[in-house]
Amino acid sequence: MILPVAFAVLVIASVAHGAVVEHTFNVGNLSISRLCQPEMIITAVNGQLPGPTINVTEGDTVVVHLVNESPYNMTIHWHGVFQRGSQWADGPSMITQCPVGPSDNYTYRFNVSDQEGTLWWHAHISFLRATVYGAIVLNPRAAAPFPAKPDTEHVVLLGEWWNANVVDLERMAFLTGIPARNADAYTINGKPGDLYNCTAANQTEVFRVRRNETHLLRIINAALNTPLFVKVAGHGFTVVAVDASYTTPYATDVVVIAPGQTVDALMVADANATASPGGRFYMAATPYDSAVPSGPPFSQTTATAVVEYVGEADDAVPPVLPARPDYNDTATAHRFWSNLTALVLPGKPTVPLAVDTHMFVTVGLGVSDCQPAQLLCNRSAPPVFSSSMNNASFVAPTAISLLEAHFSNASAGVYTRDFPDTPPVVFDYTGDESDNATMQFTTKSTKVKTLRYNETVEMVLQNTRLIAKESHPMHIHGLNFFVLAQGFGNYDEATAAPLFNLVNPQERNTIAVPTGGWAVIRFVANNPGMWYMHCHFEAHIEFGLAMVFEVLDGPTQETSLPPPPADLPRC
């Protein structure tokens, strides 16, 4: 049962292409029960979990009035939206804006030109995106280049659920330097499904389909810390886009999706009728645990929804459950992620062939000294958990956002421009013998990498063995990148470079760097501003697995950072 504690209303202006799509997001308290637990208060948008879907047509302008009726500071990030000309609307707290305080409001305005497919929005402060999230559907002006025209479509939002206050969990993790505990359940469209020990009848999502129709599934992983395998019993998929970028159609029986990623997949309702006499099939989402030798505990459970055939469904017959990959099935995950290629279309960006700046960046875990603000940190014990890129563990400023400091030429005391292009020490990045106290140690800083406008950057993202090998989903704001290659072990340019895909590499905003491996990405810094790059595991952001690109202005007004809006929140 869901009861709104703080009344909230959604305002949508239905408009034609090229006009304004307007929403009001009232962020407030929501009383809700999951897993047969007593009702608890969560933070939600417009009394919904997930929040409202934003439907737009390519070229439209989106206006979202954020009204913060919650007891917490709030920002919203429009994940994957380029924000060209609207850099102040990107949303990450203390990167592009100060947060919107309780009882305050802020209006986000941005255009969605040159993007089609599925993106999403979420809170970008604390752990609040556990319940503050929703889909963005970017409809094309003309017919999408799919191998088959879908008859209908469904948003499939994957998430995690805690029987706890997630803000309290995040705060305690920071104060102690000990990562927060794992989720109690996974969810599909906010519902855990009926495989959990105690689930109410109305907490399983149902997708109704008609035989032989083609359905477009817009799959989004909004989970805080867990990559997920997605399967539907008796059905296969054809992947046609990832991160709002078209792909060469890719047939698969499983979708693998890391936090922050989106996948558009066609599913034909053509299941063998004898496979399920009741006409009902489970959609199952199970965790992919990539950590080697071991990571933090995770919920070894399965979220389910039901794909139900109209006119054939018999509620008395249990749905068919698909065979699910093992939790640590890295081979299946890598096969999916590495087999995707772009669908090259006229007028769309292609991979740049000339490179201006080469970067080699280690991503991984480590330890650091207790920070002054970590009041419950055990200062008599060894260093506490941390994470870093090139051994720089990122700390966001507290008095002014990085974008405001950049715009005002006031970087002194806020950030430094010395994020390193290479790690401070060359070592056996994925070897067990390298995992020692000296190599694990990192220091806290606020470092950015400054890029000229239109500079082309090639970055090797190298996973490390420090504490654990793990597949880190690395997300960049304000830009897309091309994935040229990926593999396992230590990156070796001599053997990897000849394998670069410079013809049709997949284009993304979030890449799951292979566990104990590497990925090579390439992008053009064609968007002035301050762009956050970070691991999309919320636990790792909290402990510093992030950095920022400072992209300088171009030669014209259109290629320069505009001044901040008058209602930009102040710290």
DSSP letter for 321, please.
Answer: P
DSSP letter for 424, please.
Answer: S
Token pair for 56? 């737009």
Any residues with CB less than 8 A from the CB of 408 and at least 6 apart, and which? none
Token pair for 501? 């895909």
Tell me if the bond preceding 562 is cis, omega within 30° of 0: no
Alpha carbon distance 241, 250 (integer Å): 9
- pLDDT recorded at residue 1: 29
- The pTM score is 0.95
Q: Is the model's pLDDT at 12 over the cut of 80?
A: no
For residue range 395-426, list pLDDT tens digits in order: 999 999 999 999 999 999 999 999 999 999 99
- Encode burial over 230-263: b for 16+ CB neighbours within 10 A, e otherwise: bbbbbbbbbbbbbbbbbbebbebebbbbbbbbbb
Which stretch of DSSP H or E encloses residue 494?
helix 493-496
User: Cβ atoms within 10 A of the Cβ of 436, count?
Assistant: 11
The backbone torsions φ and ψ at residue 142, rounded to the nearest 5 degrees and listed phi first, read: -110, 180
- pLDDT recorded at residue 108: 98
- pLDDT recorded at residue 393: 97
Token pair for 53? 């879907």
DSSP 466-491: SS-B--EEEEESS--EEEEEEEESS-
For residue range 154-187, list pLDDT tens digits in order: 999 999 999 999 999 999 999 999 999 999 999 9
For residue range 427-444, list pLDDT tens digits in order: 999 999 999 999 999 999
**Mean pLDDT value of segment 263-290:** 92
Alpha carbon distance 234, 312 (integer Å): 15
Alpha carbon distance 201, 195 (integer Å): 11
Contact 81/112 with Cβ under 8 angstroms?
yes
Alpha carbon distance 25, 541 (integer Å): 25
- pLDDT recorded at residue 11: 33
Q: How many CA atoms lie within 13 A of 216 on its CB side?
A: 21
**Mean pLDDT value of segment 188-198:** 92
Contact 122/79 with Cβ under 8 angstroms?
yes
Coil, strand, or helix at residue 118? strand
The band of 274, judged by pLDDT with boundaries at 50, 70 and 90, is confident
CA dihedral 170, 171, 175, 176 (to 10 degrees): -40
CA angle 391, 397, 400 (to 5 degrees): 150
- pLDDT recorded at residue 378: 86
Q: Is 144 exposed, middle or buried (0-12, 13-18, 19+ CB in 10 A)?
A: middle
Alpha carbon distance 278, 319 (integer Å): 7
Q: First and final CA of the chain: distance in angstroms? A: 37
Any residues with CB less than 8 A from the CB of 377 and at least 6 apart, and which? 175, 176, 177, 370, 371, 384
Q: How far is CA 1 from the centre of its chain?
A: 28
**Mean pLDDT value of segment 307-326:** 93
**Mean pLDDT value of segment 377-381:** 83
The backbone torsions φ and ψ at residue 323, rounded to the nearest 5 degrees and listed phi first, read: -65, 135
**Mean pLDDT value of segment 306-321:** 92
Span of 273-282, 437-446, 497-506 with lowest mean pLDDT: 273-282
Better pLDDT: 378 or 14 = 378
Domains of the chain, each with CATH number or no CATH = 357-559 (2.60.40.420)
- pLDDT recorded at residue 272: 86
Any residues with CB less than 8 A from the CB of 419 and at least 6 apart, and which? 389, 390, 392, 447, 448, 449, 547, 548
DSSP letter for 39, please.
Answer: P
Span of 162-171, 193-202, 205-214, 349-358 with lowest mean pLDDT: 193-202
**Mean pLDDT value of segment 113-119:** 96
pLDDT above 90 as % of the chain: 88
Beta bridge partners of 522: 458, 482
Q: Which of 334, 120, 366 is nearest to 244 (CA)?
A: 120
The band of 381, judged by pLDDT with boundaries at 50, 70 and 90, is confident
Q: Which of 100, 263, 73, 60 is nearest to 171 (CA)?
A: 73
Contact 363/474 with Cβ under 8 angstroms?
yes
Average pLDDT, the chain: 93
For residue range 127-143, list pLDDT tens digits in order: 999 999 999 999 999 99
- pLDDT recorded at residue 199: 64
The band of 391, judged by pLDDT with boundaries at 50, 70 and 90, is very high
DSSP letter for 363, please.
Answer: E
Token pair for 511? 């890449």
Alpha carbon distance 533, 510 (integer Å): 10
Q: Which of 191, 135, 134 is nearest to 160 (CA)?
A: 191
Token pair for 552? 């300088």
Contact 493/518 with Cβ under 8 angstroms?
no
Alpha carbon distance 159, 89 (integer Å): 24
Better pLDDT: 293 or 99 = 99
Alpha carbon distance 490, 253 (integer Å): 30
Q: Is the model's pLDDT at 153 over the cut of 90?
A: yes
Q: Which of 119, 19, 108, 120 is nearest to 61 (CA)?
A: 19
Token pair for 194? 């009926």
Q: Which range has the top average pLDDT, 31-40, 225-234, 273-282?
A: 225-234
Q: Is the model's pLDDT at 2 over the cut of 50?
A: no
- pLDDT recorded at residue 202: 78
